[in-house]
């Protein structure tokens, strides 16, 4: 269980995240939605400790990860893989090496300095690429791949970390609808088959509805909605995205047009939160 307790993050006079309180059971697939600037990325970055909270604390399996330092912090960052909108691969290195880089935090500094990976690690990396259906690109330089392929390499690299949680910060924002679907399908499959918790920021409502069994809506740094997709009524959508009372908020504004035939049946939803709406 991941617990975010009364977390606030300020940047100078601006409060990016305000008093956020969330409990996320292992194995949930959580979509964080909200307008640009709502605080979604800041929240994810605090979980992974790329930035620290100004106030509050974050716990994982009873341990306060917001207080970890040194080797323990690196261990947490290994357990909590991060995927970014811009993929963050090393473009001049081949795909296989990029995936193997996911093992760095598992290994001794000497092995890392020598840049030596074992046969088992290479086999594991190829298997991760096969799973993402891009093993044929293993020896290509990562920078030569399409955006969709690069994001799949980034997911394979995350899998090499053998994480307990995957944090995906707008993983499909730079992709066309077809590649966006492939990437979201991959994340959903990893969540369903391995039971890895996935927390993903999404700009778009339809994607969150289609793939996530829990949706957290943020506005002005605060959580203003927390519940299953079915509870995301037009009133809830207005609370998250803003809009005039009574006016229809077009889902097109918040759509990527990923063509998903129908909402998928609820995945494992351990300890799903009850829908909750709060005023912004």
Ligand X SMILES: Nc1ncnc2c1ncn2[C@@H]1O[C@H](COP(=O)(O)OP(=O)(O)OP(=O)(O)O)[C@@H](O)[C@H]1O
Chain residues binding ligand X by CB under 6 A are 11, 14, 16, 34, 36-42
Instruction: Give whichever of 18 and 267 is closer to ligand X, judged by the CB atom.
Output: 18
Is residue 198 within 8 Å of residue 158, measured between CB atoms?
no
Angle at 230 between CA 226 and CA 235, to 5 degrees: 70
Instruction: Give whichever of 121 and 170 is closer to ligand X, judged by the CB atom.
Output: 170
Angle at 124 between CA 70 and CA 270, to 5 degrees: 70
Minimum separation from the CB atom of position 240 to ligand X (A): 11
Minimum separation from the CB atom of position 39 to ligand X (A): 5
Minimum separation from the CB atom of position 16 to ligand X (A): 3
Instruction: Give whichever of 39 and 163 is closer to ligand X, judged by the CB atom.
Output: 39
- Distance, in Å, from the CA atom of 187 to the CA atom of 163, rounded to the nearest integer, reads 13
Minimum separation from the CB atom of position 203 to ligand X (A): 6
The two tokens of residue 166 are 């995957």
H helices of 84-241, in order, are: 95-100, 109-114, 119-131, 147-160, 177-194, 205-211, 234-241
The two tokens of residue 250 are 């077009």
Minimum separation from the CB atom of position 37 to ligand X (A): 4
Instruction: Give whichever of 80 and 129 is closer to ligand X, judged by the CB atom.
Output: 80
Listed in sequence order, the residues at least 6 apart from 91 whose beta carbon sits closer than 8 Å to its beta carbon are 141, 142, 143
Instruction: Give whichever of 32 and 159 is closer to ligand X, judged by the CB atom.
Output: 32
């Amino acid at each position: 269980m991941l617990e975010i307790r009364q977390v606030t993050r300020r940047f100078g006079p601006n409060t990016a995240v305000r008093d956020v309180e969330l409990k996320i059971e292992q194995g949930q697939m959580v979509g964080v939605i909200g307008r640009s600037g709502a605080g979604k990325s800041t929240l994810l970055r605090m979980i992974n400790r790329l930035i620290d909270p100004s106030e509050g604390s974050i716990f994982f399996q009873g341990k306060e990860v917001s207080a970890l330092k040194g080797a323990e912090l690196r261990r947490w960052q290994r357990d909590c893989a991060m995927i970014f909108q811009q993929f963050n691969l090393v473009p001049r290195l081949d795909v296989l090496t990029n995936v193997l880089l996911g093992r760095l935090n598992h290994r001794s500094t000497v092995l890392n300095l020598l840049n030596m990976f074992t046969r088992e690690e290479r086999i594991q990396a190829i298997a991760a690429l096969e799973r993402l259906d891009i093993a044929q690109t293993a020896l290509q330089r990562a920078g030569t791949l399409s955006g969709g392929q690069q994001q799949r390499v980034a997911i394979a690299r995350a899998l090499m970390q053998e994480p307990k949680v995957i944090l995906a910060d707008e993983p499909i924002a730079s992709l066309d609808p077809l590649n966006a679907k492939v990437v979201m399908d991959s994340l959903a499959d990893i969540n369903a088959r391995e039971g890895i918790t996935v927390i993903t920021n999404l700009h778009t409502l339809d994607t969150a509805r289609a793939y996530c069994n829990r949706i957290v809506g943020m506005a002005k740094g605060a959580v203003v909605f927390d519940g299953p997709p079915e509870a995301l009524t037009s009133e809830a959508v207005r609370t998250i995205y803003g809009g005039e009372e009574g006016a229809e908020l077009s889902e097109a504004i918040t759509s990527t047009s990923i063509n998903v035939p129908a909402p998928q049946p609820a995945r494992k939803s351990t300890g799903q939160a009850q829908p909750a709406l709060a005023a912004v």
